[in-house]
Each structure stands twice: as C-alpha cells, then as structure tokens.
Amino acid sequence: METVLSGIRSTGNLHLGNYYGAVRNFVKMQEEYRCFFFIADLHSLTTHPKPENLHDNIRKVLSEYIACGIDPDRATIYIQSDVPEISELYLLLNMNAYVGELERTTTFKEKVRKQPENVNAGLLTYPVLMSADIIIHNADKVPVGKDQEQNLEMARKFARRFNHIYHVDYFTLPEPFNFGSELIKVPGLDGTGKMGKSEGNGLYLIDEPKEIRKKVMKAVTDAGPDKPNAPKPEPVENLFYLLRLMSDVSTVAHFEEAYNNCTIRYGDLKKQLAEDIILFTTPVRERILEIYNDDEYLSRVVRNGAEKARESASKTLRDVREIIGYKGF
C-alpha cells in the first residue's frame, strides 16, 4: 500500500487555503492509503513563537485537523517534535545539502525580502527539514498546495542524492498530490496572491460568522465590467475562484452571467459568498471547539500518533545509519 504524508505548520489557525489545498485531500486519502499527517511545530520555530503560546498553537491545529475529518484511527496524526528521529535525519541530510541551492529557493528568497531582520539558518534549511519529514516514512505521495511544489522538488532531489551517494535504492522519490488535478492555489481577499497565514488575508475555519461577513464584504474588487464578456481582473477572478469552491453551480452560473452582461453587483456576490462560507465553516467551528476542550481525547490521539510515527521513523533511521556506515561497538 502506498504511503501518504503531509504536514501543516502550527503558526496559526487553518484557513480555507490550507483546507482546500491540503486537508481536504488528507481526509479523502486516509480511506485508501497508509497515511501520516503531522503538525510541523519545529518548522514553526523559524517565526520565534513565545514559549507560552507554542503548546496552544499545536493544540489548535491538532483540533482543526480532527474537526476537518482526519480520523486518528485511520491515519497516524502526530506532532513533529514528538519524533526525534526526524531531527536526526534532518542533520544527516544537511551534510549533503548545499548552501547555494538552498539560497536559490523561492520561499527563502521571499523571506529574505519580507523579513530581513530574521533570516535564520532554520529558514535556509527549511526544505531539508521538510525532506526529512517526508522521507522518514518513505512517502510516495504528498498532498500539498501549489506553494509547496518547489519544496517537494527539493525533497525528491535530496532523496535521489542520498540514493546516489550511497549507491542504494533506499528512498522513494515523493510526488506532490492533489486529487484528480494539478496542485491548487486558493487566493486571498486582498486582490492579489494566495491566501496565507502571514498575509493577513485569510478566512479561517474558526472565524465567527460576523467576522467572515466583514472580511468578505471588504474584499478588493473593481468598478465593474464596462463591456459584455470582459475578462476579469485578478481581484474579481479571485472572488469567483472562492465562489466556485464554496457555492453551488447554479449560484456560480448566476453571477457569471451577471458579470458577462454587466449587471453584476459585487455586494450581492459577496453576501452570497459569505453565507456559503458560513454554511461550511459553522459545523466545523463547532467541532473544533468541542475537540479543543477534550484534554483526554487529545492526549490519547497524540500518544498513539507519536508511538506509530516513531515506530516507522526509527526503522528508517536505523537503516540510514547503517547505509551511511555507522556500526555498533
């Protein structure tokens, strides 16, 4: 049976981009594959969270995973820092990862541009840690959004390089995955770019209805089409993208037609979009709160997850140490 793995950083609550780009696939894949889904709390350290917040950040994402439908009895759900084998594999992989290639990754260059005051070595080697996450379970498929494509390429590169250096065919080369189609990028509400945790343009699963209405009503648009069948500018296309995700086909067709014959009122579209988002998020939000408050359940999930993940990870690490040449005395 093929192995699936994916993770989400515990730097904030889950937004619709995380859900549609990644978590929705996790839920479907757990039916058919051997699945590992984890919370990337080591990766979250690149943003320097305060010790008093770290644990709660993890607890939130864990509750959100389960509320979205990831079933701890089917998939292995665990916390990255509970599996020290990952950190050791990361160290070993770092020896064959070159500073030049790491500096050239788009996400690193972006961070350097956006936060020149905090260009830490963890950011530089971020793709190496991600590779360790993936190959420690020899994952075949990695459900992720479009923004992770380059990191997946790096994971394949490091896996291939390890095999090459040690003349083995040990690591599987992992493939990014999205059910039935290409990887996706869910746009934000600010007119350009993707929905993201650090972009401040997200709609979160935990958002209250009034918050969702407020955010959607404030979304960037334009003055409206000035001729029939005009192409949509990016902010408008983004709203339609969200509408296609959240609303039924007849609603989408209605607003497409209104756009094409220049009778569209963005206010109406936004109201409908907000209500359709609320319809989806309300039961999820209720489940999140229920799970978040269930100490006993969460600690059982985390303990079981760590045990299963370590069983798989320690086997890989034993093999890797042997391949590299470590021997017992």
Q: Is the separation of the CB atoms in 34 and 4 below 8 Å?
A: yes
Q: Is the separation of the CB atoms in 220 and 191 below 8 Å?
A: yes
Q: Is the separation of the CB atoms in 135 and 157 below 8 Å?
A: no
- Tell me the two tokens of residue 124: 């530089």
Per CB under 6 A, the list member of 3, 4, 13, 22 interacting with ligand TYM is 22
How far is it, in rounded angstroms, from Cα 301 to Cα 37? Answer: 12
Active site residue 157: no
Residue 43's Cα: distance from chain center in Å? 12
Sign of CA dihedral 46, 50, 52, 53: negative
- Least Cβ distance, residue 235 to ligand TYM (angstroms): 15
Active site residue 308: no
Please compute, for residue 211, the number of CA atoms within 13 A of its CA located in the half-sphere on the CB side.
Answer: 11
- Least Cβ distance, residue 93 to ligand TYM (angstroms): 13
Binding mask 165-184 toward ligand TYM (x if CB under 6 A, else -) reads: -------------------x
How far is it, in rounded angstroms, from Cα 169 to Cα 186? Answer: 36
Q: Judged by CB under 6 A, which stretch of 13-21, 221-229, 249-257, 319-327 contacts ligand TYM?
A: 13-21
How far is it, in rounded angstroms, from Cα 200 to Cα 209? Answer: 18
Residue 133 falls in which region: left (phi positive, over 0), alpha (psi -120 to 50) or beta: alpha
Residues in 45-74 that interact with ligand TYM by CB under 6 A: none
- Comparing CB distances to ligand TYM, the nearer of 22 and 77 is 22
Per CB under 6 A, the list member of 4, 8, 273, 274 interacting with ligand TYM is 8
Indicate which residue of 141, 194, 215, 270 is catalytic.
194
Binding status of residue 157 toward ligand TYM by CB under 6 A:
no
Sign of CA dihedral 102, 105, 107, 111: positive
Per CB under 6 A, the list member of 3, 4, 13, 18 interacting with ligand TYM is 18
- Least Cβ distance, residue 260 to ligand TYM (angstroms): 27
Indicate which residue of 60, 141, 197, 215 is catalytic.
197
Residues in 119-148 that interact with ligand TYM by CB under 6 A: 130, 133-134, 142, 144-145, 147-148
Q: Which residue is nearest to ligand TYM (CB)?
A: 21
Residue 241 falls in which region: left (phi positive, over 0), alpha (psi -120 to 50) or beta: alpha
DSSP H or E segment with residue 8:
strand 3-9
- Comparing CB distances to ligand TYM, the nearer of 16 and 320 is 16
Indicate which residue of 111, 141, 215, 270 is catalytic.
111
Per CB under 6 A, the list member of 24, 34, 141, 194 interacting with ligand TYM is 194
- Comparing CB distances to ligand TYM, the nearer of 115 and 260 is 115
- Comparing CB distances to ligand TYM, the nearer of 40 and 264 is 40
Q: Is the separation of the CB atoms in 31 and 170 below 8 Å?
A: no
How far is it, in rounded angstroms, from Cα 308 to Cα 17? Answer: 28
Per CB under 6 A, the list member of 49, 69, 122, 196 interacting with ligand TYM is 196
Q: Tokens 């008093």 identify what position?
A: 52
- Comparing CB distances to ligand TYM, the nearer of 196 and 209 is 196
Active site residue 111: yes
Q: What does residue 89 show for φ and ψ, rounded to 5 degrees?
A: -65, -35
Q: Which residues form the interface with ligand TYM (CB under 6 A)?
A: 5-9, 17-18, 21-22, 40, 43, 130, 133-134, 142, 144-145, 147-148, 184-186, 194-196
Catalytically active residues, by annotation: 111, 194, 197
